């Protein structure tokens, strides 16, 4: 029981400290506007694309091949537009919707990553801790990317930080599942990873990049996307 509690605590802290730290770092500065906001939105796109194509999809394909993986991608892509009317009441600004949508995508891929922490900890404590540290670090820019549109849309700094923390909580749930079951079946895990990848791809191409380009700072958006991909890949190489 105590070992399971440690696994859940480790996964939860990796999630909430990573995304929460990103929210705090951005919340301590000025609210991003103009070219800076365009950079942050595109930067978040780059980070998410790195996660999708270097982490989520290769792992899913290795587990169960293209059929289950692509079915998960399709479901993940379709889920967000179907859920949007349920999550967002009328009258909210598009930047707030973008930030909340981004949080939903972060939460979706934090679950299978928490599962990896739980299963890794069962294999060895050192592996569990190293995975938790690596995932915590690469959640920081995701938390910053989520906080940027929230702050620019008028959400208070404290609320923005709390929302970024909430996006990290599913990592604790994933760690609990990993600690209880060791691992999900390859088909279930591949589908879950594909679902998370589809959700993130929808966010990138339907929300983040269009919003970044609408601000009329194309160079800032381009540089942001490039630096986001580079940083995302750099952090993913750690684990």
List the chain pLDDT tens, one digit each, 239 residues. Answer: 677 888 899 999 999 999 999 999 988 888 888 888 899 889 888 988 988 898 889 888 988 889 999 999 999 899 878 877 776 655 455 788 888 888 888 888 788 888 878 877 877 788 778 878 888 887 888 898 889 889 988 899 999 999 999 999 999 998 888 788 765 677 877 888 888 889 889 888 988 898 888 888 999 999 999 999 998 888 777 65
**Buried-state track 200-209, b at ≥16 Cβ within 10 A, e below 16:** bbbbbebbbb
Give the pLDDT confidence score for residue 205 in this predicted structure.
92
CA distance linking residue 176 with residue 121, whole number of Å: 11
Buried b or exposed e, range 150-188, using 16+ CB within 10 angstroms: bbbbebebeebbebbbbbbbbbbbbbbbbbeeebbeeeb
Is the separation of the CB atoms in 20 and 161 below 8 Å?
yes
Q: Quote the pLDDT of residue 41.
A: 86
Per 3-state DSSP, the chain is made up of helix, strand and coil in percentages (nearest 5) of 90, 0, 10
* pLDDT confidence of residue 75: 93
Q: How far is CA 18 from CA 57, 149, 227, in A?
A: 22, 18, 19
Q: Is there a contact between 173 and 7 (Cβ–Cβ < 8 Å)?
A: no
Question: What are φ and ψ of residue 93, in 5° steps?
Answer: -70, 155
184: closest CA among 12, 103, 5, 64? 64
Pair 42, 208: CB distance under 8 Å: yes
Specify the pLDDT at position 239: 57
**Cα–Cα distance measured from residue 38 to residue 228, given in angstroms and rounded to the nearest whole number:** 12
User: What is the Cα–Cα distance from 239 to 222, expressed in whole angstroms?
Assistant: 27
**pLDDT value for 183:** 58
At residue 185, the 3 state secondary structure works out as: coil
């Amino acid at each position: 029981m105590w070992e399971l509690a440690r696994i859940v605590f480790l996964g939860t802290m990796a999630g909430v400290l990573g995304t929460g730290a990103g929210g705090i770092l951005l919340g301590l500065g000025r609210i991003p506007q103009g070219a800076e906001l365009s950079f942050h939105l595109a930067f978040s796109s780059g980070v998410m694309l790195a996660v999708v194509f270097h982490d989520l999809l290769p792992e899913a394909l290795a587990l169960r091949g293209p059929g289950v993986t692509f079915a998960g991608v399709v479901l993940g892509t379709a889920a967000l537009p179907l859920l949007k009317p349920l999550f967002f009441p009328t009258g909210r600004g598009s930047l707030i919707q973008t930030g909340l949508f981004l949080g939903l995508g972060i939460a979706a891929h934090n679950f299978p990553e928490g599962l990896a922490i739980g299963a890794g900890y069962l294999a060895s404590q050192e592996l569990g801790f190293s995975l938790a540290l690596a995932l915590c670090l690469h959640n920081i820019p995701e938390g910053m990317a989520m906080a940027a549109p929230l702050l620019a849309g008028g959400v208070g700094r404290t609320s923005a930080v709390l929302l970024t923390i909430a996006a990290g909580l599913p990592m604790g749930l994933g760690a609990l599942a990993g600690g209880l079951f060791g691992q999900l079946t390859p088909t279930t895990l591949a589908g879950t990873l594909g679902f998370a990848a589809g959700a993130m791809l929808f966010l990138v191409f339907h929300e983040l990049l269009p919003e970044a380009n609408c601000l009329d700072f194309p160079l800032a958006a381009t540089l942001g996307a490039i630096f986001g991909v580079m940083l995302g890949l750099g952090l993913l190489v750690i684990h």
